[in-house]
Chains A and B, each alone.
Chain A
């Protein structure tokens, strides 16, 4: 059984560009969350998707948007990239009716903005 998968593994973009990151949750999981982790910091919550709707959002600007598909996979889109958007982007999922504080993380996508 595959765990949470993310693509691509690494990505290099330039300032002002747009990027799309993808996540497939663990089998049987329906809730997907995205986190941003800057170097040397803990992950910071971006938003959470459930039933194809954004259910909760952290303190991130509107440049960060997302989508969840009927198969529970998800995308994170970032527009007008800034140098400060360089980070490891993590996707986490959990199954229905499960504790919020037990989430399964993917390996992340390393985004570098030049």
Chain B
């Protein structure tokens, strides 16, 4: 199973762009990169997923270099409400890890006014 490494914590200020990088050196050919967001006392929420290059949605962008050994979650112009823990997960879309999600400790993002 591909293991992920991401910073334990990050600080930012409102209005700034935040980039959280995740390392996954042993990523398999059929693995996708998925990011979840978790607010205190809530369950994680799926925010974005990609296989290669760049993926963008209304919440974030995900940048994946050609070698796919790392990925960067980009949050544009963060606000206080983006304060949360962000998890990077690696696995197949179907049948990977036999259907369960493997979470690390995540990156705790603190946005200050």
Contacts and interface: CB of A to CB of B under 8 A. Distances in A.
Contact of A42 (B32, B34, B100, B105): B105
B49 interface: yes
Interface residues of B, number: 27
B87 A107 contact: no
Chain A: number of interface residues, binned into ranges = 20 to 34
B84 to A, nearest CB: 13
B35 to A, nearest CB: 10
Contacts of B113: none
Contacts, number: 76
Contacts of A70: none
A90 B45 CA distance: 12
A63 B46 CA distance: 30
A40 interface: yes
B92 interface: yes
Nearest to A56: B98
Nearest to A45: B100
Interface of A: 4, 31, 33, 35, 40-45, 48, 55-56, 58, 88, 90-92, 99-108, 110
10 contacts: A44-B103, A48-B99, A55-B98, A99-B32, A100-B91, A100-B92, A100-B95, A103-B101, A104-B46, A105-B44
4 tightest A-B CB contacts, nearest first: A105-B43, A42-B103, A45-B100, A99-B93
